């Protein structure tokens, strides 16, 4: 965990960070980075067992933790979770909307309910959290981070549901930044690249092909949950107090070879011309 080497250890002391989907993966990594910087952490997800294990990890940082089961599709459950976290930890200073669902499915085989399920968890779930967090964030002049994905702006095969959901999240983020700036609330999206040892990467890529995946990343490595946690800490800190409405990509440049086929052809032409 490198974040404490570069930020003041008490940067978020006395602050409350609520992470939806914070029981695992990237979101738990984000929560740990905030905990390392002194924040009290609230997490929600569907599995209380998973949340309890994550809470034990988070408490090891010496911070207060509230781990409460809530499905982000259930607005009332989310409201109750936010009330509980406010009662235990104080009003929310940072909301991280990270809960998401994903699977590979060819568009022609994906059922309407399959499409809707991902829209409901990712997009509607992020709206529910944003909407229910408003009063607390207004009180603290807080900040919102949405965990988006590259599918929001580059089409990926078998990800029609995810592309639509995450693109919706990024546009919602901009609307929220526009409307709630007057309350001192900032909103930004983080776009992680391929983050190692996560459920998302497990579901979407073949471990046997990892070398090829890495070779397509200009920085020649997969990302870590701490890469995302460090960015989340920066974007929520006073260092970023004039940054709102932004989609910040943290992917080692993975999105850049979008024109890979063109580039490969151009390289052949160049070689033919110049040897």
Binding residues (CB under 6 A) for ligand NAP: these are 20-21, 23-27, 44-47, 50, 71-73, 98-101, 121, 125, 147, 149, 192, 194-195, 198-201
Out of ligand NAP, ligand HXC, none, what residue 99 binds, judged by CB under 5 to 8 A for its kind, is: ligand NAP
Work out whether 273 is an interface residue with ligand HXC (CB under 6 A): no
Residues ≥6 apart with Cβ < 8 Å to 123? 164, 165, 166, 168, 169, 172
Out of ligand NAP, ligand HXC, none, what residue 71 binds, judged by CB under 5 to 8 A for its kind, is: ligand NAP
CB of 19 to ligand NAP, least distance (A): 9
Query: Quick one: tokens of 43?
Result: 């997490």
CB of 232 to ligand HXC, least distance (A): 16
Tell me which of 117, 140, 224, 255 binds ligand HXC, using CB under 6 A: 117
Stretch that binds ligand HXC, among 11-19, 48-56, 105-113, 211-219 (CB under 6 A): 105-113
The active-site residue out of 24, 148, 189, 236 is 148
3-class DSSP state for residue 208?
Answer: helix
Residues ≥6 apart with Cβ < 8 Å to 144? 94, 95, 96, 97, 130, 133, 137, 173, 176, 185, 186, 187, 188
Work out whether 234 is an interface residue with ligand HXC (CB under 6 A): no
Query: Quick one: tokens of 187?
Result: 């909103």
* Nearest Cα residue to 99 out of 122, 83, 82: 122
Burial of 248: CB neighbours in 10 Å, binned 0-12, 13-18, 19+: middle
The strands making up 40-45's β-sheet, listed across from edge to edge, are 65-69, 40-45, 16-20, 94-97, 143-147, 186-192, 247-250
Work out whether 201 is an interface residue with ligand HXC (CB under 6 A): yes
Instruction: Clarify whether 241 is annotated catalytic.
Output: no
The active-site residue out of 24, 86, 166, 189 is 166
Instruction: Clarify whether 148 is annotated catalytic.
Output: yes
Residue nearest ligand NAP by beta-carbon distance: 25
Tell me which of 40, 130, 194, 236 binds ligand HXC, using CB under 6 A: 194
């Amino acid at each position: 965990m490198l974040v404490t080497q570069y930020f003041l250890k008490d940067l978020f002391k006395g602050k409350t960070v609520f992470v939806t989907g914070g029981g695992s993966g990237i979101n738990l990594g984000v929560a740990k980075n905030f905990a390392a910087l002194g924040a009290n952490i609230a997490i929600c997800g569907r599995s209380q067992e998973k949340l309890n294990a994550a809470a034990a990890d988070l408490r090891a940082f010496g911070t207060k933790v509230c781990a409460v089961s809530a499905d982000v599709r259930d607005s009332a459950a989310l409201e109750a979770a936010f009330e509980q976290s406010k009662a235990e930890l104080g009003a929310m200073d940072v909301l991280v909307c990270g809960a998401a669902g994903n699977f590979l499915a060819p568009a022609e085989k994906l059922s309407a309910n399959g499409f809707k399920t991902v829209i409901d968890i990712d997009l509607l779930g992020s709206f529910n959290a944003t909407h229910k967090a408003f009063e607390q964030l207004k009180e603290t002049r807080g900040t919102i981070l949405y965990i988006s994905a590259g599918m929001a702006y580059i089409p990926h095969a078998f990800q029609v549901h995810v592309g639509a959901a995450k693109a919706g999240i990024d546009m919602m983020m901009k609307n929220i930044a526009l409307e709630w700036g007057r309350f001192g609330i900032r909103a930004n999206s983080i776009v992680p690249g391929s983050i190692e040892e996560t459920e998302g990467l497990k579901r979407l890529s073949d471990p046997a092909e990892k070398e090829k995946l890495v070779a397509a990343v200009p920085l020649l490595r997969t990302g870590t949950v701490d890469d995302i946690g460090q960015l989340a800490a920066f974007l929520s800190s006073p260092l970023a107090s004039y940054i709102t409405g932004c989609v910040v990509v943290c992917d080692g440049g993975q999105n850049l070879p979008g024109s890979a086929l063109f580039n490969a052809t151009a390289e052949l032409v160049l070689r033919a011309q110049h040897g």
